[in-house]
Amino acid sequence: MKRSIGILVVLMVSLSLFAEWVPASSAFAASQDPGKTVRKNEIVRVGFTAAVASMTWSPLIVAKMLGYFDEEGIDIVMEQSYSSSATKMVAAGQTEFSTPGPHLTAAAIEGGMDVLSVYQLFPIDIFGFAVRNDGEIKTVADLAGKKIASMTPTTINQIIPILEAGGVDPKGVEVIPVGDARVQMLTERSVDACWTWDGEWQQWQAEGMPIAFVSGETVYKSCSNSMIAKIALVKEYPDLIERFYRALAKASYYIYCNPKAAADITLKEWTSIKINLDAATKIMETALVPMLGGKNVLEGKTIGMHNKSSWELVMADYVKMGIVKAPIPTEKCFTNQFIEGINKFDRAPIKAAAEAYSAY
């Protein structure tokens, strides 16, 4: 009988909560022993550090809707979390994986949490600032002395390195944590800019928000969100990790092969995203594909690989900001042990399926 992930959490939070977590596709079937049941697929819970229904997380929904997770014997449940709760949920066994920025992962490890990054979701710096498209802010340097809306208090740890790299003294900038009200405050002129990322700001723009984007990547060459797991899970169930992220790698390659198809799949599943197919396709082409690593990564065998120099760069900044007392060795932050297995799939049928997609 297959392992049931999250049994300890079930006992902690009650069977009624578990019933809410189990997706419809996770059909239970009677085993040969009439006194037992087995689940078709293992349930894997994934925490997100922002709203789940977003183009940013389209690789997960593409993998789900195209059956890549099912091929690997997995059903996924997507949970929303914010800031440090993403790492705490993994450490407590409430989710198997989560998607924190490296500052949250570093802080968690510094604090004694037994977590490890196992998959580099976004190998480039995807962050920056939305500004009004009729304003005078055009570069990071123009943010000196301005007021910026951020998501949470810890988001400042991603903002400061970008400001400093752009020649701005963070002490002269006011950062206000306001959650998902960031862009509303910007359009209402309550702030001069708001922290955001590739994939999100394009969606806002497509929804009619009068904004432009100042990219942090132009001055700060680092990495962004990766996916973490509990170290015990890494040691005890390496096959699960490899299978889960292989499904995600397949979806990432599919997005690269046909961004329009991936956009259509995402919009049809997440109907709360109120943009048209053309706008969603543009987001896939200009945001998601680069965020996932671009042509070199997606056509190669390094989907999900962590870059040591990028992590060392952000770690040096985290020491300066006091997030960690001393640089954490990269081998304690991430592992690339699963990359070969994650990338071991036949790309030809995925490319053929992407090119043959005609449902839009």
Radius of gyration of the chain (CA): 20
- Global pTM value: 0.84
Paired tokens of 139: 């570069």
Q: What are the pLDDT digits (tens) for 257-295?
A: 999 999 999 999 999 999 999 999 999 999 999 999 999
Spatial separation of the C-alpha atoms in residues 172 and 143, rounded to whole Å = 9
Least confident interval from 35-44, 88-97, 99-108, 317-326: 35-44
Q: What mean pLDDT, rounded, does the chain reach?
A: 88
Q: What are the pLDDT digits (tens) for 43-95?
A: 999 998 777 788 999 999 999 999 999 999 999 998 887 667 889 999 999 99
For residue 334, the cross-strand partners are: 117
What's the pLDDT score for residue 180?
85
Is the model's pLDDT at 299 over the cut of 90? yes
Q: Which residue has the tokens 């390195």?
A: 161
Spatial separation of the C-alpha atoms in residues 327 and 134, rounded to whole Å = 42
What's the pLDDT score for residue 184?
96
Q: Which residue has the tokens 């490319």?
A: 351
What's the pLDDT score for residue 109?
97
What's the pLDDT score for residue 223?
94
Q: Does residue 129 contact residue 143 with C-beta atoms inside 8 Å?
A: yes
Is the model's pLDDT at 6 over the cut of 80? no
Least confident interval from 15-24, 125-134, 265-274, 350-359: 15-24
Spatial separation of the C-alpha atoms in residues 309 and 183, rounded to whole Å = 33
Which residue, 32, 87, 37, 78, is CA-closest to 58?
78
Q: What are the pLDDT digits (tens) for 193-210?
A: 999 999 999 999 999 999
Is the model's pLDDT at 1 over the cut of 70? no
Q: Which residue has the tokens 């399926």?
A: 353
CA 146-149-153 angle, to 5 degrees, is 115
What's the pLDDT score for residue 85?
85
If you average pLDDT over residues 316-324, what whole number do you get?
A: 93
What's the pLDDT score for residue 33?
40
Which residue, 355, 335, 323, is CA-closest to 120?
335
Q: What are phi and psi of 114, to 5 degrees?
A: -85, 70
Is the model's pLDDT at 160 over the cut of 90? yes
Position 359 confidence tier, pLDDT thresholds 50, 70, 90: confident
Spatial separation of the C-alpha atoms in residues 115 and 99, rounded to whole Å = 12
If you average pLDDT over residues 120-130, what whole number do you get?
A: 96
Q: Does residue 200 contact residue 52 with C-beta atoms inside 8 Å?
A: no
Mapping DSSP onto H, E and C, the string for the chain reads CCCCCCHHHHHHHCHHHHHHHCCCCCCEEECCCCCCEEECCEEEEEEECCCCCCHHHHHHHHHHHCCHHHHCCEEEEEEECCCCHHHHHHHCCCCCEECCCHHHHHHHHHCCCCEEEEECCCCCCCEEEEEECCCCCCCHHHHCCCEEEECCHHHHHHHHHHHHHCCCCHHHCEEEECHHHHHHHHHCCCCCEEEEECCHHHHHHHCCCCEEEEEHHHCCCCCCCCEEEEHHHHHHCHHHHHHHHHHHHHHHHHHHHCHHHHHHHHHHHCCCCCCCHHHHHHHHHHHHHHHCCHHHHHCCCCCCCCCHHHHHHHHHHHHHHCCCCCCCCHHHHECCCCHHHHCCCCHHHHHHHHHHCCCC
The pLDDT > 90 percentage for the chain reads 80
Q: Which residues of 72-90 are buried (b: 16+ CB within 10 A; e: fewer)?
A: bbbbbbbbebbbbbbbbbb
Is the model's pLDDT at 329 over the cut of 80? yes
If you average pLDDT over residues 303-323, what whole number do you get?
A: 95
Q: What are the pLDDT digits (tens) for 12-46?
A: 333 233 333 333 333 322 233 433 334 478 999 99
What's the pLDDT score for residue 128?
97
What's the pLDDT score for residue 83?
65
Nearest 10 degrees: Cα torsion 223, 227, 229, 235: -80
